[in-house]
């Protein structure tokens, strides 16, 4: 049996998670939409970017500490909002949030979480962030934002690229649900995941805690699925961003930006930061990878608001490359879920530690000791993407 101290990469954690997490939830994490081309390019497009190695420089007293939307962070990495986290491991959101508090980075709770806002607040004293999906029922959204304010969330992350849902073949074939439906295939698969089943048997958190009992007419899972199909709002527009910003009153991050013009609009409508993201390759297939679009968006708005990046950050080297190209921080989704599925809270902390060490050592090899001094000078000219348009 693999042990935590033998984990040396995010890939190691992924292998263990595959053995412990039910198939439908593992594939929910490890898949994209349609052909999964965008999902693959998010990671692959980092590979051509090369570092400039520097030698005989003082590498002592290094620091990755910085700020993200005004919040002190031990390194410029935040955990991204991910749905179904509490199905990867029992009480998953609470465990992940506590791991982030211990490590000193922000945790972002999804609207589609299993553990509720209140559950996560009970598990951590840190100012976690809350991600918002906008539904047609604006009364429910207003209540959700007020609950996030009552929980003293440090920032609101508005997802802008899921007005409609991309087709994800694995989720359709697996009949994705929380908890899993008792089909023959699911039962046979769950029989191979005894530790997962035991954890789920011990918790009461097996459905969507932010929605059940809070949205009108949603009191059980049958109500929930009908509600979700009817509630994602395809009419969401920039005027709604102004309403959300005014209601929230705090730091607003807009996630899902892939176009410089959209980044400018985000600034004009009150955003404090944007996340360059294609939803982990789970929405529009055959679109640009996040890292390819980062330089153009930084050039367009990088002096007006903070630009973050999401997608393909499975190594500390990739996080460092993104930072060098102008991102003030990156979000990780799958790496923390693989750590969570493999070893619970300790697995999330291990994933963060792996990324920290990779980022720290790579920075030193490039001749820098402070992340605040890192820019394109640490990259080999001609190997990284340039701004294509303003």
In whole angstroms, what is the distance from residue 105 CA to residue 108 CA? 10
| Average confidence (pLDDT) over 177-193 | 92
* Cβ neighbour number for residue 17 with a 10 Å cutoff: 24
Tokens for 184, please give them: 């023959």
Task: Report how far apart, in Å, the C-alpha atoms of 69 and of each of 8, 31, 98, 287, 309 are.
Answer: 31, 30, 20, 28, 14
H-type alpha helices, the chain: 10-20, 23-29, 37-44, 85-88, 92-103, 117-123, 138-150, 169-174, 184-190, 194-202, 221-231, 238-248, 260-268, 290-301, 316-324, 334-343, 345-365
Residue from 109, 114, 113 nearest 130 by CA = 109
Residue ranges of the binding site for FMN = 81-83, 110, 131, 159, 255, 277, 333-334
Element (H, E) at 307: strand 306-310
* pLDDT score at 147: 98
Q: Is 34 left (phi over 0), alpha (psi -120 to 50) or beta?
A: left
Q: What is the pLDDT of residues 85-118, one digit of tens each?
A: 999 999 999 999 999 999 999 999 999 999 999 9
State the catalytic residue, choosing from 41, 269, 279, 336.
279
* pLDDT score at 76: 98
* pLDDT score at 1: 65
Domain ranges of the chain: 4-47+63-353
Under a CB-based contact definition with an 8 Å cutoff, are residues 298 and 292 in contact? no
Cα angle 141-147-151, degrees, rounded to a multiple of 5: 145
Fold type of domain 4-47+63-353: TIM Barrel (3.20.20)
* pTM of the predicted model as reported, rounded to 2 decimal places: 0.96
pLDDT beyond 70 at 390: no
Q: Does residue 252 sit in helix, strand or coil?
A: strand
Q: Does the active-site annotation cover 152?
A: no
| Average confidence (pLDDT) over 227-237 | 86
User: pLDDT over 90 for what percent of the chain?
Assistant: 88
Average pLDDT, the chain: 95
Residue ranges of the binding site for glyoxylate = 28, 133, 168, 279, 282
Q: What is the pLDDT of residues 34-58, one digit of tens each?
A: 999 999 999 999 999 999 999 999 9
In whole angstroms, what is the distance from residue 278 CA to residue 28 CA? 16
* Cβ neighbour number for residue 141 with a 10 Å cutoff: 22
Under a CB-based contact definition with an 8 Å cutoff, are residues 369 and 62 in contact? yes
């Amino acid at each position: 049996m693999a042990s935590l101290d033998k984990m040396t990469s995010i890939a190691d954690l992924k292998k263990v998670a595959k053995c412990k997490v039910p198939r439908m939830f593992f594939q929910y994490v490890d898949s994209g939409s349609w052909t999964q081309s965008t999902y693959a390019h998010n990671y692959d497009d980092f590979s051509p970017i090369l570092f400039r190695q520097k030698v005989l420089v003082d590498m002592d007293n290094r620091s990755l500490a910085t700020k993200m939307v005004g919040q002190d962070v031990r390194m410029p990495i935040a955990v991204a909002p991910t749905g179904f986290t509490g199905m990867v491991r029992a009480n998953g959101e609470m465990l992940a949030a506590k791991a982030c508090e211990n490590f000193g980075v922000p945790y972002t709770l999804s609207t589609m979480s299993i553990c509720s806002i209140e559950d996560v607040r009970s598990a951590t004293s840190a100012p976690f962030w809350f991600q918002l999906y906008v539904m047609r029922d604006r009364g429910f959204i207003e209540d959700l934002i007020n609950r996030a304010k009552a929980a003293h969330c440090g920032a609101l992350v508005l997802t802008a690229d899921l007005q409609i849902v991309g087709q994800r073949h694995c989720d359709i074939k697996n009949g994705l649900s929380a908890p899993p439906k008792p089909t023959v295939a699911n039962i046979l698969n769950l029989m191979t995941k005894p530790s997962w089943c035991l954890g789920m048997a011990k918790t009461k958190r097996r459905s969507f805690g932010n929605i059940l009992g809070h949205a009108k007419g949603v009191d059980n899972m049958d109500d929930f699925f009908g509600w979700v199909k009817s509630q994602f709002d395809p009419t969401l527009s920039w005027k709604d961003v102004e309403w959300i910003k005014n209601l929230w009153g705090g730091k607003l991050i807009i996630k899902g930006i892939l176009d410089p013009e959209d980044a400018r609009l985000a600034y004009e409508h009150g955003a404090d930061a944007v996340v360059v993201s294609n939803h982990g390759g789970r929405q529009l297939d055959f679109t640009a990878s996040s890292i390819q679009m980062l330089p153009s968006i930084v050039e367009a708005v990088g002096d007006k608001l903070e630009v973050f990046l999401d997608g393909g950050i499975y190594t500390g080297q990739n996080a460092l490359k993104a930072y060098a190209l102008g991102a003030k921080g990156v979000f990780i989704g799958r790496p923390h879920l693989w750590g969570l599925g493999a070893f619970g809270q300790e697995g999330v902390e291990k994933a963060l530690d792996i990324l920290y060490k990779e980022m720290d050592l790579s920075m030193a090899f490039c001749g820098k000791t402070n992340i605040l001094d890192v820019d394109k000078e640490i990259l080999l000219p001609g190997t990284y993407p340039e701004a294509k348009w303003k």
